[in-house]
Amino acid sequence: MVLPIVAYGDPVLRRTGAEIKKDYPGLQQLIDDMFETMEKSKGVGLAAPQVNKSIRLFIIDSSKMFDEEDKEEGLREVFINAKIIDESGDEWGYEEGCLSIPGIREDVYREETLLIQYYDRDFNFQEKKLTGLTARVVQHEFDHIEGILFIDHLKPLRKSLLKSRLENISKGKVSVEYKMKFPKK
């Protein structure tokens, strides 16, 4: 089932997600629904707070960001109760967007490499070292379960220039191709 994506301005996007246990009700269905929702909206990542669940769960599929000529293949994965153990390497800029903030794309600087521990959808413990675009997507989604949005990484002046557009998004005054829930509509 495709779920509505919560738009900018909803308090759920600002909460720190709670850890979950293996017996979290409806977990497997929620994960399937999140993949369906992400694919429908052509996203490469989706975090549970974006579908109105304040829990430490996010999914990514960075495989579509690469083509056959690239050395990397990308990663399709479920991250539960993730912890970033280390971030390293040079900060690099990349134009990010977010399904909860449609129509806005801005350069965000993040470190290149990431060591992350998490549980997968079967609750097997995993540790992975990620780099480049896949690390980027994970860093963006991990921020969501901490209540952080990509626009928070912008310089204050840049962010203030976006203020009225962000306000319009929260009111539903934005053109979007997928189902959303607007907090001020």
Q: What is the CA radius of gyration of the chain?
A: 16
Contact between 166 and Ni ion (CB under 5 A)?
Answer: no
User: In this structure, what token pair is assigned to residue 166?
Assistant: 């962000």
For residues 102, 48, 1, 100, the Cα torsion angle rounded to the nearest 10 degrees is -10
State in angstroms the smallest separation of the CB of 69 from Ni ion.
28
State in angstroms the smallest separation of the CB of 140 from Ni ion.
6
Of 39, 141, 146, 177, the catalytic one is 141
With beta carbons less than 8 A apart as the criterion, state whether 134 and 74 touch: yes
Contact between 98 and Ni ion (CB under 5 A)?
Answer: yes
User: In this structure, what token pair is assigned to residue 152?
Assistant: 């928070």
State in angstroms the smallest separation of the CB of 68 from Ni ion.
27
Q: How many residues bind Ni ion (CB under 5 A)?
A: 1
Q: Please state, in angstroms and as integers, the Cα–Cα distance from residue 112 to each residue in 76, 99, 135, 185, following that order.
A: 19, 23, 7, 38
State in angstroms the smallest separation of the CB of 144 from Ni ion.
6
Query: 123 exposed, middle or buried (CB, 10 Å; 0-12, 13-18, 19+)?
Result: middle
> 123 or 165: whose CB is closer to Ni ion?
165
Residue nearest to Ni ion (CB): 98
CA 126/CA 102 separation, integer angstroms:
32
What x-and-dash track marks residues 45-84 binding Ni ion by CB under 5 A? ----------------------------------------
Contact between 13 and Ni ion (CB under 5 A)?
Answer: no
141 labelled catalytic: yes
The residue ranges that bind Ni ion (CB under 5 A) are 98
Residues assigned a catalytic role: 141
